[in-house]
A and B are shown apart, each in its own frame.
Chain A
Amino acid sequence: MTTTNRALLLVEDNEDDVFLMKRALKAAHVINELCVVEDGQEALDYLSGAGKFADRDSYPLPAVVFLDLKLPYISGHDVLAWIRRQKNLDSLVVIVLTSSNEASDLSRCYALGANSYLVKPPTPDQLEDLARSFKWYWLEYNHFDES
């Protein structure tokens, strides 16, 4: 076990989904700090440390980003593409978490360098299940580049 305690960033404009995700992670006993931004531009600002996000104590650089695709201002695809252009974010794990299971979205996200693609499960139980699997795989087994 290499359990990481680094922060997680949720890029999600739907506050219900934010609520449900927080609840599922909590149910799965994920104790990592969960930061939330509500649109693509904010995600870019957060990750680049622009404005108020320069304060890394309050807004730590995350180990994992949960990225919704349908976002205001800048879409999830563009956020993903931007992340993969940033040298210092090479080791950032990007998990696309979307309600779309369109083949076009899937292939595009992998082409842009997504680490994983998850479709939002319809029921809270399934979401909780997903959160548990996430914790088990990404937070406990996966090795992060800590340099």
Chain B
Amino acid sequence: MAQRQTSIQKRVRAVILLASVIVLFVTAGAFVIYEAIDFRAQLVRNLSTLAAVIADNSVAPLAFDNKAIAEEILAALRAQSDIEAAAVYDDDGNIFATYPPALPASLLPSAVAGKGHQFRDGALVLFVPVLQEQKPIGTLYLRSSFRGLYEQLWRYGIIVLIVLAGAFGIAFMLSTLLQKRISEPILALTQAAETITRQSDYSVRAPKLTDDELGTLTDAFNRMLSETQENQASLAEQARLLDLSTDAIIVRDLQGVIQFWNRGAQEVYGWTGAEALGKQKHQLLQTEFTEPLEQIMDKLQRQGRWAGELVQRRRDGTRIHVSTRWVLDHETGTNLARVLITDNDITLQKQAEELMKSEAKRLDALVEQRTATLQETIGELEAFSYSISHDMRAPLRAMQGYAKALLADYDGRLDAEAKRYLDRIFRGANRLDLLIQDVLAYSRVAKGEIDLHPVYLERLVDDIISANPEFQAPLARISVEVPLHRVLGHDAYLTQCVTNLLGNAVKFVPPGVVPEVCIRTERVDGKIRIWFEDNGIGIDPLHHQRIFQIFGQVHPEKKYGGTGIGLAIVRKAVQRMNGEAGVESEENHGSRFWLLLNGGEI
């Protein structure tokens, strides 16, 4: 680039040189012309002066008709090399004397003029009258060649040429220096522009070499570059961001031809940008539309956007589900429109959905099946408890009945031992019947929906005490600290609870002690706690959890009787009434059972 002589440099140099040469020529020409004119005028003046002198000197020879002197005078003209010819004419126009003496006729004028000069045949011809006493007595003729002029002009010409050559050389050197001032900033700009074009590198800047208009131009160019670089950077950033997107971002025109294809699209569909650009999108991807394309395009035209799901094919032929969003983009100032498409692969999602659907279906079926099994089990359980209450109790009644009948009917024939055995049979059957009844009571409490409503505890407790002689004096002393708060509960369940708790309280007492039970209520955080405090044998804190479990009896059955289900029924019933049950007790220090239920205040 720098080695090659660029056209701008040539041109600038040519312009400078041309201007210099023209100026030089014009100047030199004017000078030469002036010199030529001045020389002729000077020549006329000099010749006139010379002629005047000679004419003066020729008066006497003419007057005295002395040719020799006249020729002598003329001979003095030898000193003037330019003088080619001179002649003195007498008053009649005849040649009196000539210079040189053998003057060829060709140098003589054809006719003698009175006075004046003229340029004739490449020479100056002068006529001067020879005056004596102001009267003409003859005429002096002088002819001077232009040789001097030519010689001078020639000299001038050489000088001019030398000056021209020197000036040209100087102009050439100056132009070489000067053209740099103009061409270098332009060349720098050109070079920068070429670099940018070739390398697309917008970080290149043209160096500012001058402060003139070219400098301003360079600044403007660099500013433009900066802006372009920023735009380019932001475009690159946007393109990078677009490429970062795992969504496929595609632009296509209304005919479906792909115009933009980001890396996400390559990842989703497998086609590279180079492969996809210019292709028909729906052909390339073998799109399966869920609704006709015309309909979609219609929506797109009317609403400017459309979103849906499509099935398309990857480059390797696999079918993928994509969620797609289309936005119509009208290019500003044109009728052209294109469609910005954002696709993301939801195949996995779809598969997961399908899987979930089928799994949900399977689970539904399983739940249905299990529910059916459970229903069946519940049905069987109900049938079982029904059968317990009906069928299993019948043989017990028979055992009791026949034992009793034996005792009654064969009283005299049975010894004491036989009667004791019969009594054991009777009591065993009795106990089994109690067990069955408790199990049934427990299962009744454990199942079924119940409605809760406020329960008047005082009346409920009174009813229970009056219905059970073992809760009354003299067998027991049960006191109630009135008033008892109302609770939210269920009559039958609460009756069961209170009966069981009182039953335990009067049952588990040391021998010979009259059971004493105090029933009272207290408010605890908006709930009601019902206390049953007894003077019984108490329970080791170790067993406080166990006693509420089914068959969680801790005291020997032989000593106190009971089935071990009573407290389990209490706990279950209280749970069904959204409450809790518990005990505070130590062995030999009585027990304080409690029920915690929601208040039943209206």
A positions within 8 Å CB-CB of B: 14, 16-17, 19-20, 23, 69-70, 98-102, 120, 122-125, 127
**Contact among A23, A101, A122 for B433, CB-based, below 8 A:** A122
Output the nearest chain B residue to A128 by Cβ-Cβ distance: B404
> Is the beta-carbon distance between A98 and B390 smaller than 8 angstroms?
yes
- Would B397 and A122 count as touching, CB distance under 8 A? yes
A69 touches B390 (CB 8 A): yes
Q: Measured between C-beta atoms, what is the minimum distance from A105 to chain B in Å? A: 8
Q: Tell me, yes or no, whether B591 is within 8 Å of chain A by CB.
A: no
Cross-chain contact B430 with A99 (CB below 8 angstroms): no
26 contacts between A and B (CB under 8 A): A14-B398, A16-B394, A16-B401, A17-B398, A19-B401, A20-B398, A20-B401, A23-B405, A70-B390, A70-B391, A99-B389, A99-B390, A99-B394, A99-B397, A100-B386, A100-B389, A100-B390, A101-B389, A102-B386, A102-B389, A120-B397, A122-B396, A122-B433, A124-B401, A127-B397, A127-B401
Q: Is the interface of B mostly helix, strand, loop or mixed?
A: helix
Cα–Cα distance between A98 and B405 once the two chains are bound (Å): 21
Q: Output the least CB separation between B444 and chain A (Å).
A: 8
Q: Which residues of B in the span 423-439 have a Cβ within 8 Å of any Cβ on A?
A: 430, 433
CA gap between A100 and B390 in the complex, in Å: 6
Please indicate the chain A residues that have their CB under 8 angstroms from the CB of B401 in the complex. Answer: 16, 19-20, 23, 124, 127
In residues 374-411 of chain B, which contact A (Cβ within 8 Å)?
A: 386, 389-391, 393-398, 400-402, 404-405
Q: Give Cα A59 to B430, complex, Å.
A: 37
A-B pairs with beta carbons under 8 A, tally: 53
Q: Determine the distance from Cα of A17 to Cα of B402 in the docked complex, in whole angstroms.
A: 10
Residue of A nearest to B441 (CB): A101
Q: Given A23-B401, A102-B386, A125-B404, does the pair A120, B393 have CB atoms closer than 8 Å? A: yes
Chain B residue numbers with a CB within 8 Å of A16 are 394-395, 397-398, 401-402
Whether the Cβ atoms of A124 and B395 lie closer than 8 Å is no
Q: State whether A122 touches B389 (Cβ < 8 A).
A: no
Measured CB to CB, the closest approach of chain A to B401, in angstroms, equals 4
When distances are taken between beta carbons in the complex, the residues of chain A under 8 Å from B391 are 70, 99
Q: In the bound complex, what is the Cα–Cα distance between A124 and B403 (angstroms)?
A: 9
On chain B, the residues within 8 Å of A19 by CB distance are 398, 401
**Smallest Cβ-Cβ distance to B388: which chain A residue:** A99
A122→B398 CA distance, assembly (Å): 9
Q: How far is the CA of A98 from the CA of B291 in the complex (A)?
A: 71
Please name all residues of chain A whose beta carbon is closer than 8 Å to the beta carbon of B395 when the two chains form the complex.
16
Query: Within the complex, what minimum Cβ distance (angstroms) separates B167 from chain A?
Result: 138
Taking each of A69, A98, A122, which has the highest tally of chain B beta carbons within 10 Å of its own beta carbon?
A122
A65→B376 CA distance, assembly (Å): 35
B390 & A124 in contact (Cβ 8 Å cutoff): no
Which residues of B are found within 8 Å of A69, using beta-carbon distances? 390
Chain A residue nearest to B393 in the complex (CB): A99
A69 to B386, CA, bound (A): 11
Query: What 17 additional pairs, Cβ within 8 angstroms, besides A101-B389, A124-B401?
Result: A16-B395, A23-B405, A70-B390, A99-B389, A99-B390, A99-B391, A99-B393, A99-B394, A100-B389, A100-B390, A122-B400, A122-B430, A122-B433, A123-B404, A124-B400, A125-B404, A127-B401
Please tell me if the beta carbons of B389 and A124 are within 8 angstroms of each other in the complex. no
Chain B nearest Cβ from A40, distance in angstroms: 15
* Nearest opposing residue in chain B for A19, CB measure: B401
With a cutoff of 8 Å between Cβ atoms, the chain B residues found around residue A20 in the complex are 397-398, 401
Q: How far is B396's CA from A102's CA once the two chains are assembled, in angstroms?
A: 19
Q: Which residues of A contact B390 (CB under 8 A)?
A: 69-70, 98-100
Chain B residues near A120 (CB-CB < 8 A): 393-394, 397
A84 to B260, CA, bound (A): 89
Q: How far is the CA of A19 from the CA of B402 in the complex (A)?
A: 9
Contact B404 A122 (CB under 8 A): no
Residue in A closest to B405 when the chains form the complex, CB atoms:
A23
Docked CA distance A124–B400 (Å): 7
Chain B positions within 8 Å of A98 at CB level: 390
Q: Which residues of A contact B389 (CB under 8 A)?
A: 99-102
- Per the bound structure, the CA–CA distance linking A19 and B125 in Å amounts to 197
Q: How far apart are the CA atoms of A127 and B401 in the complex, in Å? A: 9
CA distance A122 to B397 in the complex (A): 6
Within the complex, the shortest CB–CB distance from A129 to chain B, in Å, comes to: 13
Asked, given contacts A70-B390, A102-B389, whether A124 binds B396 with beta carbons under 8 Å apart, the answer is no
Measured between alpha carbons, how far is A122 from B426 in the docked complex, in Å? 11
Contact with A along B430-454 (1 / 0, CB 8 A): 1001000000000000000000000
Q: How far is the CA of A123 from the CA of B398 in the complex (A)?
A: 9
